[in-house]
Amino acid sequence: MHPALHSFLHGKITLSAEHEALVARTFQVKSARRNEILVPKGAVAKHLYLVAKGCLRVFLLDDHGRESTRFMVFEGRMGTAFPSFIRQQPSAAAVQSLEASELLTLSYAARQVLCREVPGWETLERHALEREYIAAIERIEGFLTLPATARYEALRQQSPALVQRLPAKIIADYLGISPETLSRLKARG
């Protein structure tokens, strides 16, 4: 089993040898180049991605070519264009690998098999969904209530390395602030 998958599952599920083998061969390793588009806007998101190395971005693109970053998926987390993946319908958002990334992919059909065949997998999925749903709620709260400084601080604590290595434009867009405000905050921190 890939070490990133092992870490992801650790403490969340106890697998028999047989089910561990099934899980290990169900996830596929995939490398993605920096800036590679994994799911184009309008395509169906066919996979969930567990980020072993690197970082994904889920973003919206309007008719004028303006991008807005909806989510970032950091190392050790799973993500995709979730509404498209669940409904298996064309995606409003695109998924991009922001860096050279190593991913473990789980297809829609394979996920159904794991939920059906592996005892405890559905509980694990429910807990993962609860965490992601809470993260989305906290992002909404951030938009509604936190000043730019606090949004930046939260991200810096969550993922210090990423704040350093990702382009300022992407970070600013994710935080909903101008690149100028971001560089002031970075200089201060």
Tokens representing residue 74 in the block: 């950091």
Segments in 53-120 forming alpha helices (H): 82-87, 108-117
CB of 187 to a second copy, least distance (A): 26
CB of 129 to a second copy, least distance (A): 4
Q: What is the rounded distance in angstroms from the CA atom of residue 6 to the CA atom of residue 20? A: 10
Nearer to a second copy, 123 or 164 (CB): 123
Nearer to a second copy, 9 or 70 (CB): 70
Q: What is the rounded distance in angstroms from the CA atom of residue 58 to the CA atom of residue 70? A: 6
**Chain-centroid distance, C-alpha 81:** 9
119: which DSSP letter?
T
100: which DSSP letter?
S
Nearer to a second copy, 109 or 136 (CB): 136
CB of 186 to a second copy, least distance (A): 22
Nearer to a second copy, 49 or 52 (CB): 49
CB of 101 to a second copy, least distance (A): 21
Bridge partners, 93 (sequence order): 60
CB of 115 to a second copy, least distance (A): 7
Residue matched to tokens 């000043």: 147
Nearer to a second copy, 29 or 129 (CB): 129
Phi then psi for 148, rounded to 5 degrees? -50, -45
Residues 6+ apart with CB under 8 A from 39: 45, 46, 80, 81, 84, 91, 93, 94, 95
Nearer to a second copy, 122 or 189 (CB): 122
DSSP element (H, E) containing 106: strand 101-107
Binding site for a second copy (CB under 8 A): 60, 62, 68, 70-71, 82-83, 86-87, 92-93, 115, 122-123, 125-126, 129-130, 132-134, 136-141, 143-145, 176
CB of 31 to a second copy, least distance (A): 27
